[in-house]
Chains A and B, each alone.
Chain A
């Protein structure tokens, strides 16, 4: 587990984002146990209060759940899982559109370039088969 935190976004937000990415890409599977708050703080070298905050927010958003005193787990809720993936895709698209707009390229030209680039990388192939 290695996260490159930036220094200007709240750390808890970055932790949640990391979890969403792992969920969306299937690294964290539905129902999988996750590290305790303390373990996560140690692993990422972040403040334990921040890890606590991230877990609290994720619990409220239904991304993770805790039964009795057992370790927390990744949600099995299909609806939530789908929306996580959707959210990340939309964010990436928004960022992309934003940066492309700023250099003023016609959308068709960009889309051709995107397809070309996408097909030439192995990362892209995996997603295509999806």
Chain B
């Protein structure tokens, strides 16, 4: 489990996180929703230990984050960070050289799943396919937790469907997934936990299936109540 306990972060005078707390379980998909831009990526960066905090703590499997945490988690940014003139195969090789946890077998399986061709250059790919390569490079690492920043943002419907499908497959398996998004759209049925964020605070955390069961509400219904009281 990832436990985020009251984390605070300031950039200059601006308080970006004002004591954010939530939990994310292994084997579940937790979705951090924030309609007003700020904070989501900072939270992911904090879990990755990439940004010093002004308060609070983060535990992974009961342990405070430390320099070994990255062996358990990976962060998939919202856009691919490989050199654009690299081929898919070269970027895979780059990851393999860099990370001990690289799983070549799974990488090949993902290539096949996304119907991508190894020899293609990243700058020749469509936006949707670029997003898939980006995801592939993260998912192929053998880690317990996957953090993804806006994996569904700005890509076509068919790529979105394919990405949604990978979440349900053995390629994600029983790992813990945290994704951020600013619009829930067509992934309501895909996620377990929802964390609603606004102005650097968590307004509500709930289980999507539970809220349907006990209150007969969709995730969007709850968002409407929370964000537009």
Contacts and interface: CB of A to CB of B under 8 A. Distances in A.
B27 interface: yes
A80 B27 CA distance: 33
B170 A47 contact: no
B212 A45 contact: no
A49 B27 CA distance: 8
A16 interface: no
A24 B212 CA distance: 26
A11 B27 contact: no
Contact of A8 (B29, B170, B191, B217): B217
A60 B192 CA distance: 23
Interface majority SS (helix, strand, loop, mixed), chain A: helix
Interface string B134-165: 00000000000000000000000000010011
B27 A5 contact: no
B69 interface: no
B209 A7 contact: no
Contacts of A13: 213
Contacts of B213: 10, 13
A11 B150 CA distance: 24
A80 to B, nearest CB: 24
Interface residues of A, number: 20
B109 interface: no
Interface string B210-227: 001100111111000000
A45 B161 contact: yes
B190 interface: yes
Nearest to B169: A42
A45 B221 contact: no
B212 to A, nearest CB: 4
Contacts, number: 55
B193 to A, nearest CB: 10
B28 interface: yes
A9 interface: yes
A8 B215 CA distance: 9
B120 interface: no
B218 A38 contact: no
A9 B216 contact: yes
B10 interface: no
A48 B219 contact: no
Contacts of A8: 212, 216-218, 221
Nearest to A5: B189
Given A41-B168, A45-B168, A47-B29, A7 B192 contact: no
A44 B186 CA distance: 12
B190 A47 contact: yes
A46 interface: yes
A56 interface: no
Given A7-B188, A11-B209, A11-B212, A38 B27 contact: no
Nearest to B209: A10
Interface of B: 27-29, 161, 164-165, 168-170, 188-192, 209, 212-213, 216-221
6 contacts: A8-B212, A8-B218, A45-B161, A48-B168, A49-B28, A53-B209
Interface of A: 5, 7-13, 38, 41-42, 44-51, 53
A-B complex: 7 closest residue pairs judged by Cβ atoms = A7-B218, A41-B168, A10-B213, A10-B212, A42-B168, A46-B189, A45-B164
